[in-house]
A and B are shown apart, each in its own frame.
Chain A
């Protein structure tokens, strides 16, 4: 048996040791890989840069104009006078419409998610149609929701409601807080459904089995075991829906927002003012943009603080929930 290393594997001289090392070191610098990797990294950086620029621009410009007075005053009709203007009715209007929306969207969304996760057979046609409908709802443009609100809630439901109640003047058949909120509820329904479904699916099936094996009905299992576990996820969904709805202007344009209201909205049939809409008005209808700049930025900052605060709360809750459910294994 030949135990001697065949000559081709032996270095002929010390300079030939490079033949071994050559096999494990890169032949040449791979330029294109480096280049393209760098390009994608730059793309990421650019996007983050845009985000940072927008946020910084707003914070820097808006911070100086924000004050307690600003946030708590009801402005007169001239919004562009910095000394007397305020955004209280806009904050209240935004808050009200979002609260009313939540009252409608959370029950419907949660129940739909419960059906999809706990009761529906995944392969049945009706389940697939429901899921397709939810996906489609998520992709409808916001202005179309506005048209829907006008065409259905105001012109159909509202007008008929007025007829039913024998209202001489149009009370419900015109733009109102209720209709704007309902329109937003339809718009944010997919958000709540997806978030709830996610949290329901994260609950291990073993828990449901244990409950059923003890003689609980399916409904009891859902109400006593599944839903309490899913509650944080449901809250996350609700908060995400709220933060999205707070920033939307297009759906409320024809369904309830007003350019100017002398008093705060007090009734579901009232019109209301809105932070986002006010930003739009200030930006496009100001007679002197330089003068309006600080007010504009301050309003934007208030709106952003509202939506971001909510987003961050949602993210924190989501992280806590994930940790808690992981402990269940």
Chain B
């Protein structure tokens, strides 16, 4: 109980500032995850670069979404989960006992497979995160919201109905709204869990363009079961199979000249 009385240490400076140029930004060190007795992730070690799109690919149930959710500690919400190993972002282990999860999630944002806008107006959806983290003045909110909606390529479509319900948007628009909402609080990393899997090809294309745009500012990790999508938008790709990391490397190499046979079998469609 005593620890709750200790004041929080000043939050570490932005992760990125702590990373010397060229050093890996996200380091996953020997991570294993257990749901009760069954092991979902087996000794994963991975180093991801900054401001780069990394794709996690692999067949269903291989653990890619699970690993993604480890990066912002969303797996903490599940009972019976045990995580071994360490994950360092900007050099700080996010599983250290003194880490404030709330702060972490400000820095590492997430976009979900099924878009989940709040049942509020478009404006309020984006404002939610901003208000949470202290932005109160209306003018600040207005300008920031416009900035994010422009960045998500949504501004032109919704500028006239900012205060109408977000649920009235199409699926693709809702997902872009979720992305706008996520980038509003200026995270450094954006995690995307199959963001376009529920969308039609046109909406998917727009999301992919958006991702290529966003990577100039954010580090992006995207889980996808669509290999062609991974090939289109990612710089690095990690291939997972039944909880293990099989291969990791530049996307072009993984798709044209993979080192492992299993990787080759997967990307050429022999299984999956």
A and B touch in the complex (CB under 8 A): yes
Chain A residues close to B by CB (< 8 Å): 121, 204, 206-207, 209-217, 220, 224-225, 229, 324, 327-328
B262–chain A nearest beta-carbon distance, Å:
32
* Residue contact A212 to B74, C-beta cutoff 8 Å: yes
| Residues of chain A with a CB closer than 8 A to B102's CB | 215-217
Given contacts A213-B105, A214-B182, A327-B167, is CB(A207)–CB(B132) below 8 Å?
Answer: no
Contacts of B103 in A (CB 8 A): 215
Which residues from A are CB-within-8-Å of B110? Answer: 213
Q: Which of A121, A207, A210, A213 contacts B72 (CB 8 A)?
A: A213
Which chain A residues lie closer than 8 Å to B105 at the CB level?
212-215
B175 CB to closest chain A CB (Å) equals 12
> In B42-81, which residues have CB < 8 Å from any A CB?
72, 74, 77, 79
Q: Is the CB of B74 within 8 A of A328?
A: no
A214-B128 in contact (CB<8A): yes
Q: A213-B72, A214-B132, A215-B185 are in contact. List 19 more A-B contacts (CB 8 A).
A: A204-B116, A206-B116, A207-B119, A209-B112, A210-B118, A210-B181, A211-B118, A211-B128, A212-B74, A213-B105, A213-B109, A214-B129, A214-B181, A214-B182, A215-B102, A215-B104, A215-B129, A220-B132, A225-B118
Contact indicator B119/A328 (Cβ below 8 Å):
yes
Interface centre among A210, A225, A327 (most CB of B within 10 A): A210
Interchain CB contact under 8 A, A210 and B119: no
Measured between beta carbons, the chain B residues less than 8 angstroms from A328 are: 119, 167
Q: Is the CB of B178 within 8 A of A210?
A: yes
A209 close to B74 (CB less than 8 A): yes
In the assembled complex, the Cα of A209 lies from the Cα of B79 at a distance in Å of 15
The distance in angstroms between the C-alpha atoms of A210 and B72, with both chains bound, is 12
Q: Per-position contact with A for B88-125: 1 when CB-CB < 8 Å, else 0? A: 00000000000000111110011010101111000000
Docked CA distance A220–B132 (Å): 9
B133 touches A (CB below 8 Å): yes
User: Chain A contacts of B116 at CB under 8 A?
Assistant: 204, 206-207, 209-210
C-alpha gap A213/B133 in the complex (Å): 13
With a CB–CB cut-off of 8 A, which chain A residues contact B182? 213-214
Task: Categorize the interface residue count of chain B.
Answer: 20 to 34
The 5 closest A-B pairs by CB, nearest first: A206-B116, A215-B106, A213-B110, A215-B105, A214-B129
- Residue in chain B with minimal CB distance to A229: B119
Known: A206-B116, A207-B118, A225-B118. A214 touches B109 (CB 8 A): yes
Chain A residues in 8 Å Cβ range of B117? 210
Question: B36 → chain A, closest Cβ, in Å?
Answer: 12
> Which B residues between 189 and 215 are near A, CB-CB below 8 angstroms?
none
Q: How far is the CB of B250 from chain A (nearest CB, A)?
A: 29
Instruction: With both chains docked as a complex, state the minimum distance between the C-beta of A27 and any C-beta of chain B, in angstroms.
Output: 50
* Residue from the set B77, B116, B128, B182 with the largest chain A CB neighbour count within 10 Å: B116
Interchain CA distance A102-B103 in the complex, whole Å: 39
Q: How far is the CB of B195 from chain A (nearest CB, A)?
A: 13
Given contacts A121-B79, A206-B112, A327-B167, contact A213 B118 (CB under 8 A): no
Q: Which chain B residue shows the least CB distance to A218?
A: B77
Q: Are B77 and A215 in contact (CB under 8 A)?
A: no
Contact A224 B128 (CB under 8 A): yes
B104, B119, B185 — which one has the most chain A CB atoms within 10 A of its CB?
A: B119
| B77 → A minimal CB distance (Å) | 7
How far does the alpha carbon of A260 sit from the alpha carbon of B106 in the complex, in Å? 64
